[in-house]
């Protein structure tokens, strides 16, 4: 596969230009459309379901297709441009079909200096791909990713968003080779690896029953808690702990004129939140809004 590189940086190939979304993906089945409607019904404001709905589309079609964008837009009463804007903003949404597995290598600062850059370069060479490309056998899509908030285990890699801690170039290659051979692979702090599409279905909100499989936290994460418990350490009280948004007298929100006399800006924020929650609850109680995907502005 031909790749280009950053000037003066032969080790980090650039991805080819983004292809147009594929048009040959199988159409979304009725079962998926029903699940998209189910997701929209889980939220007081149906449009809040857009992110999980896009994950569900990916789990079925392998990426966010034009058909998927249209389906989400129709169900939520949004324009295709609004849905497309979301799908192209977040890097977890893919506009090209993904391989069986997504492998992410953290090349943010700490992981990079701890070996993440070398891992990424070795995987590029081993798989003969550049960033955001898929190996010729369709098994692995490789992407360099930003900090996973797992810096205490740097350098880290993800497979279908499950964490693999303290990797080396050799261990990373072993993981991808096992995945390509279809052998079982266990995340360092997570479940046995399934596939990117199955992981996307979980992200959409449909559990696979594996949430409690594998270790959840590692020693490096728990070390501080353990030492604090052994030595009886406690966090100092928050200096402003006795001041809460409701500690100062604030009148109840007005139901019509909006002429409340609130003077504390934190109290005003609390009132705004309360009013919004009440509004969303009222919308949720209207079946037409949930099922029909009416405007929620
Ligand atoms: S820099 Fe890699 S997990 Fe934070």
CATH number of the domain that residue 187 is part of:
3.40.30.10
Q: Which residue has the tokens 């230009």?
A: 17
- Among the candidates 154, 179, 194, a domain finishes at 194
Determine the distance separating the centroid of ligand 1 and the alpha carbon of 158, expressed in angstroms.
11
Whether residues 79 and 105 fall in one domain: no
* 178-208 as b/e: b if 16+ CB within 10 A: ebbeeeebbbbbbbebbbbbebbbbbbbbee
Determine the distance separating the centroid of ligand 1 and the alpha carbon of 152, expressed in angstroms.
8
Q: What is the pLDDT of residue 33?
A: 98
- How many angstroms separate the CA atoms of 157 and 148, rounded? 9
Q: What is the pLDDT of residue 11?
A: 46
Q: Which residue of 105, 111, 158 sits with most ligand 1 atoms within 8 Å of its CB, as the best mutation to test the pocket?
A: 111
Q: Into how many domains does the chain fold?
A: 2
Q: What is the pLDDT of residue 58?
A: 96
Whether residues 128 and 154 fall in one domain: yes
Nearest 5°: CA angle at 25, between 20 and 27?
125
Q: Is residue 8 part of a domain?
A: no
Q: Find, among 101, 107, 120, 75, the residue nearest to 195 by Cα.
A: 101
In angstroms, what CA-CA distances link 172 with 108, 127, 129, 157?
Answer: 17, 11, 15, 8
CATH number of the domain that residue 41 is part of:
1.10.10
Domain housing 144: 101-194
Determine the distance separating the centroid of ligand 1 and the alpha carbon of 106, expressed in angstroms.
6
Instruction: Residue 22: count other Cβ atoms within 10 Å of its Cβ.
Output: 14
Q: Is residue 286 part of a domain?
A: no
Q: Is the CB of 147 under 6 A from ligand 1?
A: yes
User: Model-level pTM?
Assistant: 0.72
Q: Is residue 146 part of a domain?
A: yes
Q: Is the CB of 151 under 6 A from ligand 1?
A: yes
Look at the alpha carbons of 21, 23, 25, 26 in this order and tell me if their dihedral is positive or negative: positive
Q: Is residue 118 part of a domain?
A: yes
Q: Is residue 42 part of a domain?
A: yes
Q: Which residue of 107, 119, 148 sits with most ligand 1 atoms within 8 Å of its CB, as the best mutation to test the pocket?
A: 148
Q: Is the CB of 156 under 6 A from ligand 1?
A: yes
Ligand 1: nearest atom to the Cα of 110: 1
- Among the candidates 194, 223, 251, a domain finishes at 194
In angstroms, what CA-CA distances link 53 with 6, 92, 228?
Answer: 35, 13, 42
DSSP state of 210: -
Determine the distance separating the centroid of ligand 1 and the alpha carbon of 26, expressed in angstroms.
37
Determine the distance separating the centroid of ligand 1 and the alpha carbon of 205, expressed in angstroms.
26
Q: Is residue 285 part of a domain?
A: no
Q: Is the CB of 203 under 6 A from ligand 1?
A: no
Angle, helix 50-61 to helix 30-40, in steps of 10 degrees: 160
Digit-by-digit pLDDT tens for the chain (297 residues) are 334 444 444 444 444 444 455 657 789 999 999 999 999 999 999 999 999 999 999 999 999 999 999 999 999 999 999 999 999 999 999 999 999 999 999 999 999 999 999 999 999 999 999 999 999 999 999 999 999 999 999 999 999 999 999 999 999 999 999 999 999 999 998 889 999 999 999 999 999 888 888 887 888 888 989 999 999 999 888 877 666 555 454 454 444 444 444 444 444 444 544 444 454 444 444 444 433 333 333
Q: Find, among 130, 72, 132, the residue nearest to 97 by Cα.
A: 132
Q: What SS3 class is residue 182?
A: coil
Q: Is residue 126 part of a domain?
A: yes
Whether residues 106 and 187 fall in one domain: yes
Q: What is the pLDDT of residue 138?
A: 96
Where helices occur in 167-264 by DSSP H, the ranges are 169-181, 196-204, 219-231
Q: Is residue 96 part of a domain?
A: no
Q: Which residue of 117, 154, 157 sits with most ligand 1 atoms within 8 Å of its CB, as the best mutation to test the pocket?
A: 154
């Amino acid at each position: 596969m031909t790749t280009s590189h950053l000037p003066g940086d032969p080790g980090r190939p650039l991805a080819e230009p983004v292809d147009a979304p594929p048009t040959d993906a199988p159409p979304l089945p009725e079962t998926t459309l029903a699940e998209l409607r189910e997701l929209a019904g889980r939220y007081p404001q149906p449009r809040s379901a857009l992110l999980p709905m896009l994950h569900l589309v990916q789990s079925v079609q392998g990426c966010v297709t034009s058909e998927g964008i249209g389906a989400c837009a129709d169900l939520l009463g949004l324009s295709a441009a609004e849905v497309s804007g979301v799908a192209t903003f977040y890097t977890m949404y893919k506009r090209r079909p993904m391989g069986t597995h997504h492998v992410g290598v953290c090349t943010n600062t700490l992981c990079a200096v701890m070996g993440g850059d070398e891992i990424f370069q070795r995987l590029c060479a081993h798989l003969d791909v550049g960033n955001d490309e898929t190996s010729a056998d369709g098994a692995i899509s490789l992407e360099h990713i930003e900090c996973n908030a797992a810096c205490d285990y740097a350098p880290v890699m993800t497979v279908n968003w499950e964490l693999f801690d303290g990797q080396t170039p050799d261990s990373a290659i072993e993981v991808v080779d096992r995945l390509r051979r279809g052998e079982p692979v266990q995340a360092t702090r997570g479940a046995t690896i399934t596939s990117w599409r199955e992981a996307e279905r979980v992200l959409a909100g449909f559990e696979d029953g594996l949430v409690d499989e594998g270790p959840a936290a590692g020693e490096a994460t728990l070390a501080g808690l353990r030492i604090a418990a052994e030595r009886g350490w406690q966090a100092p009280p928050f200096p402003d702990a006795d001041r809460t948004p409701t500690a100062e007298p604030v009148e109840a929100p007005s139901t019509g004129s909006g002429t409340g006399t609130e003077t504390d800006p934190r109290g005003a924020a609390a009132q705004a939140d309360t009013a919004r929650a009440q509004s969303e609850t009222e919308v949720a109680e209207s079946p037409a809004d949930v099922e029909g995907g009416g405007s929620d502005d």
